[in-house]
Structure 1
Amino acid sequence: AHTGQDFSHRKEWVTERLAELSRAFAINICAYAVMSNHYHLVLYVDAAQARNWSDAEVARRWELLFSVPYIAQKYLKGELSVKADIRVALEVLAELRRRLSDLSWYMRSLNEPIARRANEEDRCTGRFWEGRFKSQPILDEAGLLACCAYVDLNPVRAGIAATPEEADFTAIQQRLQEFAAERAAADTRQVSRVPTPSQPTNQTNQHVTPPLHPFANHLNADPAQGLPFRFQDYVELVDWTARIVRDDHKKTMPEHTPAILIRLGFSAEDFQQHMQAQAMTRGSVIGQIERLQAYARSLKKRCVMGVRMPRVCLAW
C-alpha cells in the first residue's frame, strides 16, 4: 500500500551511520547502494588492523558507538591491582576488539539505530527490517569486481538513474564526485582534502558520506592497501555496464570490451549475465571455480553453492 509519504530522507540515515561506523570498525566499504527499501554493501573486513590496535585504541573506538564496560575503563586508568580483575578487564577488551572486526556486530550497529529512529518517526514499535542480513564471501578479484559493479549499478538497473553519476546514494557517485572535486582543486592550485578512513566526506548533495576503501591501482594488491584495480579502469567498466543494463531491451552489446574484463578472463556476455539481478544472489559464496573448491574443502564440505566466475555452478 502507498501512504503518500516520502521516506527518501532515511537514505541519509544509512550513509550517516556508515560514516560513524567507519570511524570505529576495522571494516572498510568497497561499494554501497542505498535503495528505497533496502541497501547493498561490499565490505572488506581488516581483522589484521584490529589486532594491531592498542587496548586504549580499542576502547576509544568502542566508545564512539557504545559505552566501555567499567572494569575496562578502570584497567586503562591503571586503577586495578587484583590479578583476577585485570584478567577480566583484558578479556573484556579482547571481546571488544573481536566485535570491532565482526561483520555481524557491524550490521547490528548499522541496522538497530536506524530501526529505532524509523519506528520513532512512524510512532510505532516492532520489526523494521525484514529478517537477518544475507552475506556472501567474495573469494577473488573477479568476484570482487563483479560485486562492486553490481552494487554500484543498482539504481541504473532499477531504472531510477540513467547513468552512474546520477545514481544517488551509491559509492560510484561518491567516488566520481570526490574525483571531480580533487581535479578542480588541483586545477586551481588548492590543497585537495583526501578522504581517510577516519574522515567522512560531505558532497555537493549535502549529505554525509562514508569514507571508501581506496583503489590500489594494480591487480594482486594486498586487500588492506585497496581494491586491486585502477580507478580509471573501474569507471570505464561501470559506464560500459550501465549502457548495457540501460539498453538491455535492445539486446545490444557495445563493440569495445573494457580491458579489465579481458585481464580477469571475462567475456562481455558473461559479465552482462552477472549484472542481472538474479545472477549475483543465488549462491552463498562468489569466486572462480578453484577458489570455490578450496572454500568448500576449508569448511570440510563436499560442495558449496556459489556464484562462479563466469557462471553459477556447484563446486565439488
Structure 2
Amino acid sequence: MTQSRQSQVSLSDTPYYHCISRCVRRAYLCGEDKYTEKSFEHRRQWVVERMHYLASLFNIDICAYAIMSNHYHLVLHIDERPNESLTHEEVCERWCLLYSKPVLVERWQSEPTTSEAENKAALTIINGWRGRLADISWFMRCLNEFIARKANKEDNCSGRFWEGRFKSQALLDEDALLTCMAYVDLNPIRAKMAASVESSEYTSAYERLLPCKNVGVAQPQEKPSDLYHKKPLFGFIGDDNQNETQGIPFSLLDYIELVDWSGRIIREDKRGAISSQRPRLLSTLGLENDIWLSLASRFGKDYHGAVGSLEALAAYAGNTGKRWIASKNQLRLH
C-alpha cells in the first residue's frame, strides 16, 4: 500500500532525505534520444537552475545531486528553524514568487480596514505557506511541475512527464548520509557517462570542485527579485569549519578524495590506474574497501524508505507509526 509522504518524513529523527524523480513513457529528461536523434542536454541546466532557485526561497538545503538521462537524484536538508523567524510579509514575498497571490492576501497587505475575519483567514493561508517552505513535497512539486511544463512545451505534447510520485528515503545517521551522497555523486561514473569526478558535470561533486562554474543562475522566467540569491550547496563542517553548527559533519577534501577514489575503481577501464592510497574517511568509518564499494554502487537498489543503524530505524519506525522497518535497511558499516 502506498504510504503518505507525511508518514515517511520525521524531522525529529533526521533532516536529511534522498529524493528521486523519474520520467514516464520514453520521455527524456536529458541526454541523446536514439529514436528521434534529438539532444536534450540543455535540460540539465534547467534542473540545476530551478533547484538552486527553489533552495533560495525554501528553508531547504541541497547536499548532493546528480542529473541523469531520465531521472535525477537530490539529497536535501530541511531546516525548520528559520521558518519561525520569517515575518508574514517575507513568507508572502517568497511564496508569491512561485504562485499567484490570492485576492484575500492582497487585501490583507494593502487594506488596513479589512475585517478581523478576513485578517484571520489571510493569516491562515500565509501560515500554510510558511509550513510549505520547509516541506520536501512542495519543494519537489515546484521543481517537477516547472520542468514538466517546459519539457512538454518543447516536445509539443501534453500529459505526464514524471512518474506519479517522487521516491524519498530518510537518511537517519551520518554514515547513511555520507554513503548516499557518494552514491548520488557517482551516478554518472557508474553509468559510464563520465570518466572521473572532475568530468561529472551536473553533479554536486562537480559543482563543489568548480565553484566558479556558471551554474544555478536564476532564469528570467523565475521573476528574480532582490530576494533571490544563489544559496550555495550545504557545506561541510569538518576540519576547517568545526565552529559551524549547521553542515555536513565531514571534511570536503576527505569527501572528494573518497568519491574520486571510488569512481576510479567503479570504472572498469580505470582499474589499472587505481591509487593504492586508502581514503582517510574509510578508516574513520571503519570500513573495508570492498564493503564501501558495494554500498556506494548499490545503495539506491538495496536500501529503501529509511536507512540507518538498527537503533535509528527502531526510533524512526516508532515516530512514523510503523511497526517495523526492513532489517535490510540497516547500514552495517562496522
Q: Calculate the TM-score normalised by the size of structure 2.
A: 0.78
2:247 corresponds to which residue? 226
Q: Structure 1's 116 and 247: CA in aligned 2 closer, same or farther, altered over 3 A?
A: same
1:32 corresponds to which residue? 65
Q: Structure 1's 218 and 292: CA in aligned 2 closer, same or farther, altered over 3 A?
A: farther
1:86 aligns with 2:107: no
> Counterpart of 1:17 in structure 2: which amino acid?
R
Q: How does 1:242-257 map to 2 (within 5 A)?
A: 242-247=263-268, 255-257=276-278
Q: For 2:310 and 2:212, locate their aligned partners in 1 and report how far apart those are by CA, in whole Å.
A: 35
1:199 aligns with 2:229: yes
Following TM superposition, by how much is the alpha carbon of 1:80 offset from its aligned partner in structure 2, in angstroms?
Answer: 4.4
> Counterpart of 1:307 in structure 2: which amino acid?
N
Q: Structure 1's 150 and 278: CA in aligned 2 closer, same or farther, altered over 3 A?
A: closer
Q: Encode CA deviations 1:93-135: one digit per residue, 9 max, x unaligned.
A: 1000011111111111001111111111111111111221000
1:272 corresponds to which residue? 293
Q: Structure 1's 158 and 19: CA in aligned 2 closer, same or farther, altered over 3 A?
A: same
* 8 A contact 2:44–2:202 mirrored in 1: yes
* 8 A contact 1:271–1:310 mirrored in 2: no
Q: Structure 1's 116 and 218: CA in aligned 2 closer, same or farther, altered over 3 A?
A: same
1:308 aligns with 2:330: yes
1:100 corresponds to which residue? 133
> Counterpart of 1:257 in structure 2: which amino acid?
R
Q: Secondary structure at the match of 1:303?
A: coil
Q: Encode CA deviations 1:175-210: one digit per residue, 9 max, x unaligned.
A: 0001799xxxxxxxxxxxxxxx9533xxxxxxxxx6
1:56 aligns with 2:89: yes
Give the fraction of aligned pairs with identical amino acids, expressed as a percent. Answer: 41
* 8 A contact 1:266–1:310 mirrored in 2: no
2:258 corresponds to which residue? 237
Q: How does 1:1-316 map to 2 (within 5 A)?
A: 2-77=35-110, 79-178=112-211, 199-200=229-230, 211-217=232-238, 225-247=246-268, 255-277=276-298, 280=301, 282-305=303-326, 307-310=329-332
Q: Structure 1's 26 and 264: CA in aligned 2 closer, same or farther, altered over 3 A?
A: same
Q: For 2:308 and 2:113, locate their aligned partners in 1 and report how far apart those are by CA, in whole Å.
A: 49
Q: For 2:129 and 2:243, locate their aligned partners in 1 and report how far apart those are by CA, in whole Å.
A: 26
Following TM superposition, by how much is the alpha carbon of 1:148 offset from its aligned partner in structure 2, in angstroms?
Answer: 0.8
Q: Encode CA deviations 1:232-261: one digit per residue, 9 max, x unaligned.
A: 111111111111211389699864332222
Q: Calculate the TM-score normalised by the size of structure 1.
A: 0.82
Q: Structure 1's 218 and 310: CA in aligned 2 closer, same or farther, altered over 3 A?
A: farther
* 8 A contact 2:183–2:300 mirrored in 1: no
> Counterpart of 1:24 in structure 2: which amino acid?
L
* 8 A contact 1:147–1:280 mirrored in 2: no
Q: For 1:271 and 1:119, locate their aligned partners in 2 and report how far apart those are by CA, in whole Å.
A: 40
Q: Structure 1's 231 and 33: CA in aligned 2 closer, same or farther, altered over 3 A?
A: same
Q: Which runs of 5+ in 1 are unaligned?
A: 182-196, 201-209, 312-316
Q: Structure 1's 275 and 298: CA in aligned 2 closer, same or farther, altered over 3 A?
A: same
Q: For 1:33 and 1:91, locate their aligned partners in 2 and report how far apart those are by CA, in whole Å.
A: 37
1:194 corresponds to which residue? none
Q: For 1:180 and 1:6, locate their aligned partners in 2 and report how far apart those are by CA, in whole Å.
A: 22
Q: Which runs of 5+ in 2 are unaligned?
A: 1-33, 215-226
> Counterpart of 1:94 in structure 2: which amino acid?
N
Q: Structure 1's 252 and 281: CA in aligned 2 closer, same or farther, altered over 3 A?
A: farther
Q: What is the RMSD of the two structures over their aligned residues, measured on CA atoms? A: 2.8
Q: For 1:179 and 1:310, locate their aligned partners in 2 and report how far apart those are by CA, in whole Å.
A: 38
Q: Structure 1's 54 and 266: CA in aligned 2 closer, same or farther, altered over 3 A?
A: farther
Q: For 1:80 and 1:226, locate their aligned partners in 2 and report how far apart those are by CA, in whole Å.
A: 45
* 8 A contact 1:22–1:198 mirrored in 2: no
Q: Encode CA deviations 1:70-112: one digit per residue, 9 max, x unaligned.
A: 2223323462442211111110110000111111111110011
Q: For 1:244 and 1:294, locate their aligned partners in 2 and report how far apart those are by CA, in whole Å.
A: 36
Following TM superposition, by how much is the alpha carbon of 1:10 offset from its aligned partner in structure 2, in angstroms?
Answer: 1.0
More off after superposition, 169-178 vs 69-78: 69-78
2:7 corresponds to which residue? none
Q: Structure 1's 199 and 267: CA in aligned 2 closer, same or farther, altered over 3 A?
A: farther
Choose between structure 1 and 2 for higher RCO, CA contacts under 8 A separated by at least 6 residues. Answer: 2
